[in-house]
Amino acid sequence: MRSLRESCIRHGLLTSASISILTSFGILFILIKESLPFFEDVSPWEFLTGTNWAPLMVPRDYGVIPLVVGTLLVTGVAALIVIPVGSLAAMYLSEYASSRARRILKPTLEVLAGIPTVVYGYFAITVVTPALRAVIPGVEVFNALSAGIVVAVMIIPTVASLSDDAMRSVPNALREAAFGLGATQKEVTVGVVYPGAISGVMAAYVLAIGRALGETMIVTMAAGSTPLLTLNPLDSVQTMTGYIVQVSLGDTPAGTPGYMSIFAVGLLLFVITLSLNLFRIWIQRRYVRYDT
Amino acid sequence: MKNPVIPRTVLEARNLSIHYGDSAAVSGVSLKIPEREVLAIIGPSGCGKSTLLRSFNRMNDFIDSCRFEGELLFEGVNIYGPNIDPVELRQRIGMVFQRPNPFPKSIRANITWAPRMAGYLGDYDELVERTLREAALWDESKDKLDKSALSLSGGQQQRLCIARSLAMSPEVLLMDEPCSALDPIATGKIEELIRGLREQYTVVIVTHNLQQAGRISDRTAFMYQGDLIEIDQTDRLFTQPAKKKTEDYITGRFG
């Protein structure tokens, strides 16, 4: 009787654990299945190398590069902000803050991570964009810079909190060794703790960049919907996620190449974030780990 | 007859007491450590010997609850006085810890890291070779200076940590049970090394191992429950202790 119950529990737990894995495979399967008809009309080569994205107009054009560059532009702006700010915040939390300051700051930071992205989107168009337009001439109403800044704000808590965890896992013996040699707090933090935590810190960066790549609401609201091929962050761009939203909400009839293109774009985004995550796992295995 | 040379005092504790919160770790200790002496501090666990050692280069500063009374003079200056920069102090009073704690960097970088921070202007290759020789690690490591320090054995890592401290040219080297995590062969090598260091450095070593204190030190201090019970020439302390407590401890009646 007991063994039956144990076996039920065991299988119940296994099922729960399987759900997310099976869902991931299901998503991948749907993405591939739905994008196959698209790739019958448009060659993958044309899709991946074309520099004009106009799937809803005539003549149609399916070069995905403007969307990829738009995504990378927003992500790049976010990364340029989040890597220094998140790292410095983590250094403060882990090495400088008193235990009291830490007890208050760390949970506060983690609350920030729970704000709905639509709120961040409003923040971008009502605060950040007007501020940018007041300071920098030539900023469009919708622009990659504003979206990138707000995406960075959204992921700073992730980077700060995960990097803080990684730095705190560096054994105290290494800090003592460095202080014992007459190093300053800054030298210990930058020269010993940060490099000692590098695998965890890099993993935090990559995780955050992955979130920036897949971020949808902020970029849809703030970056615009013009798939222009540009590297100027003051211009309006469209990201891969932004395009998928636009078509999903619009009146593009199902079954047309324009509609099916969202699966191809989704598949490409999936491949990019998957490679990023594999890269993260590789980094985490590559560097020193402390088991103490 | 020449007058006996009176060695200069490097470190001096005057009525030194250290508390963690409400409990006293060290109470009213006074002692003088002359230049180029190897002083061993012995005593049972919790007697305050490590706390005393760590107060010599202000490594207790990082413990919030740690309070300090009395005076501790280094070269005649109270190191807990105003205008004392603990960073500069620790460059002159180095420390080797219980467990080997090399940085996860190359052997070479372990040695050059702190001198580089401090703006050392000499030749770095020469510094690496000299300190590794002083720490009796050169022959074993000269062909793999750019390999990770973590690839060394525990005993080699501890000798690297000693070399790393010597690279700052400290006047005093504090050692907190440096052999407690090592096997007897590695311990023997470190002891031999410490005997050699006496030529140039003042060494204060905390140890659990009475035989070790007997083998390597000029003088030995015995601490018990925060008090300095007795300090004397090592051979005299071990053969004719002045205090009953000392005799009980070294004959193994408690400990």
Inter-residue contact A75 to A279 (CB < 8 Å): no
pLDDT above 70 (res A201) = yes
Mean pLDDT score, A18-36: 92
CA distance B161 to B166: 9
Adjacency order of strands within the sheet including B9-20: B23-34, B9-20, B66-74, B77-78
CA distance A201 to B186: 36
CB contacts of A178 in chain B (<8 Å) are: 103, 113-114
User: A179: which residues sit within 8 A by CB, 6+ positions away?
Assistant: A188, B59, B62, B90
* Per-residue pLDDT tens over the stretch B144-202: 999 999 999 999 999 999 999 999 999 999 999 999 888 898 899 899 999 989 889 99
Q: Do B104 and A196 touch (CB under 8 A)?
A: yes
As a whole number, the mean pLDDT across chain A is 91
pLDDT above 50 (res A213) = yes
Which has the higher per-residue pLDDT, A180 or A256? Answer: A180
Q: What predicted TM-score, i.e. pTM, was given to this entire model?
A: 0.87
* Per-residue pLDDT tens over the stretch B92-142: 999 999 999 999 999 999 999 999 999 999 999 999 999 999 999 999 999
Q: Which amino acid is at A66?
A: P
pLDDT above 80 (res A290) = no
pLDDT of residue A286: 76
- Residue A174 has its nearest CB partner, among B91, B95, B103, at B103
Q: Which residue of B has its CA nearest to A176?
A: B59
- Judged by a CB distance cut-off of 8 A, whether residue B113 touches chain A is yes
Share of chain A above pLDDT 70, in %: 98
- Residue B101 has its nearest CB partner, among A173, A184, A195, at A173
- Judged by a CB distance cut-off of 8 A, whether residue B90 touches chain A is yes
- Judged by a CB distance cut-off of 8 A, whether residue B157 touches chain A is no
pLDDT above 50 (res A291) = no
Highest CATH level, class, for A44-287: mainly alpha
pLDDT-derived band at B254, boundaries 50, 70, 90 = confident
Share of chain B above pLDDT 70, in %: 98
pLDDT of residue A134: 94
- Residue B97 has its nearest CB partner, among A173, A191, A195, at A173
Locate B26 and state its tokens.
């060290």
Mean pLDDT score, B58-84: 90
Q: Do B165 and A180 touch (CB under 8 A)?
A: yes
Q: Which residue of A has its CA nearest to B112?
A: A181
Mean pLDDT score, B4-14: 86
For residue B246, the 8-state DSSP code is H
Mean pLDDT score, A86-100: 95
Considering only the C-alpha atoms of chain A, give the largest distance between any 2 of them, rounded to a whole number of Å: 76
- Judged by a CB distance cut-off of 8 A, whether residue A26 touches chain B is no
Is residue B174 within a helix (H) or strand (E), and if so which, with residue range?
strand B172-176
Q: Domains in chain B and their CATH numbers? A: 9-250 (3.40.50.300)
- Residue A183 has its nearest CB partner, among B97, B104, B114, at B114
pLDDT of residue A66: 95
pLDDT above 90 (res A58) = no
Which has the higher per-residue pLDDT, A284 or A97? Answer: A97
CB contacts of A196 in chain B (<8 Å) are: 103-104
- Judged by a CB distance cut-off of 8 A, whether residue B119 touches chain A is no
- Residue B114 has its nearest CB partner, among A173, A181, A195, at A181
pLDDT above 70 (res A289) = no
Q: How far apart are the first and last CA of chain B?
A: 45
Q: Do A171 and B101 touch (CB under 8 A)?
A: yes
CA distance B18 to B30: 12
CB contacts of A176 in chain B (<8 Å) are: 59, 95, 97, 101
CA distance A218 to A150: 7
pLDDT of residue A256: 83
Q: Do B88 and A176 touch (CB under 8 A)?
A: no
- Domain coordinates in residue numbering, chain A: 44-287
Inter-residue contact A221 to A154 (CB < 8 Å): no
Residue linked to tokens 């071990």: B238
Interface test with A, best of B54, B57, B90 (most A CBs within 10 A): B90
- Judged by a CB distance cut-off of 8 A, whether residue B164 touches chain A is yes
- Judged by a CB distance cut-off of 8 A, whether residue A182 touches chain B is yes
Number of Cα atoms under 13 Å in the Cβ half of residue A258: 18
pLDDT of residue A292: 39
As a whole number, the mean pLDDT across chain B is 92
CA distance A67 to A78: 17
Inter-residue contact A77 to A145 (CB < 8 Å): yes
pLDDT-derived band at A85, boundaries 50, 70, 90 = very high
Those of residues 229-288 in A touching chain B at CB distance below 8 A are 288
- Judged by a CB distance cut-off of 8 A, whether residue B89 touches chain A is yes
Q: Do B102 and A182 touch (CB under 8 A)?
A: no
Q: What are phi and psi of B234, to 5 degrees?
A: -60, -45
Mean pLDDT score, B4-31: 90
State the complex-level ipTM. Answer: 0.92
pLDDT of residue B234: 95
Q: Do A181 and B94 touch (CB under 8 A)?
A: yes
Look at the alpha carbons of B29, B30, B31, B32 in this order and tell me if their dihedral is positive or negative: positive
CB contacts of B87 in chain A (<8 Å) are: 182-184
Question: Looking at CA atoms only, how far is residue B145 from chain A in angstroms?
Answer: 18
- Judged by a CB distance cut-off of 8 A, whether residue A101 touches chain B is no
Question: Looking at CA atoms only, how far is residue B104 from chain A in angstroms?
Answer: 7
* Per-residue pLDDT tens over the stretch B38-55: 999 999 988 999 999 999
